Amino acid sequence: MTNILVLGASGYTGKEVSRAFSRAGFRVRSLVRNEEEARLLAQDEIHPIVGDIKRLDLLTERLDEADVIVDTSIDYNESLETTRNILNAVKQAGERRAHRGGQLTFIHTSGVWVQGETGYLGVSQDWNLQPLEGVAWRVRIEQETLELARALNVRPVVLRPALVYGRNGGFFDRVFAGLVAGNIRLPGTLENNLSTIHVDDLAELYVKITERAPVLKGQILTAANRSSEPVQEIIRAVRRLAGKREIQVESYRPTNVGDEGVALTQVIDTRITRTVTDWEPRKRTFVEGVAEYYQSWKAVNGQQI
* Residue 75's pLDDT band (cuts 50, 70, 90): low
Give residue 303's pLDDT: 81
Specify the higher pLDDT residue, 81 or 137. 137
Rounded mean pLDDT, 13-28: 97
Q: Under the phi-then-psi rule, with left for phi > 0, alpha for psi from -120 to 50, and beta for the rest, what region is 243?
A: left
Give residue 80's pLDDT: 79
Task: Report the DSSP pairing between strands 183-187 and 248-252.
Answer: parallel
Give residue 304's pLDDT: 77
Average pLDDT value for the chain: 93
Q: Where are the domains of the chain?
A: 3-228+256-300
Res 242 pLDDT > 80: yes
Domain 3-228+256-300 CATH class label? alpha beta
Percent above pLDDT 70 for the chain? 98
Residues 138 and 187: beta-carbon distance below 8 Å: no
Give residue 301's pLDDT: 86
State pLDDT tens for residues 155-176: 999 999 999 999 887 789 999 9
Give residue 12's pLDDT: 92
Specify the higher pLDDT residue, 305 or 113. 113
Closest by CA position to 192, among listed 237, 235, 238, 255: 235
Query: DSSP letter string over 152-186?
Result: SSEEEEEEEE-EEESSS-SHHHHHHHHHHHTEEEE
pTM for the model: 0.95
Res 223 pLDDT > 70: yes
* Buried b or exposed e, range 59-83, using 16+ CB within 10 angstroms: beebbeebbbbbbbbbeeebeeeeb
Mapped onto helix, strand or coil, the DSSP state of residue 56 is: helix
Res 77 pLDDT > 70: no
Give residue 18's pLDDT: 98
Res 278 pLDDT > 90: yes
State pLDDT tens for residues 23-71: 999 999 999 999 999 999 999 999 999 998 888 888 899 999 999 999 9
State pLDDT tens for residues 95-145: 888 877 778 999 999 999 999 999 988 888 888 899 999 999 999 999 999
* Residue 281's pLDDT band (cuts 50, 70, 90): very high
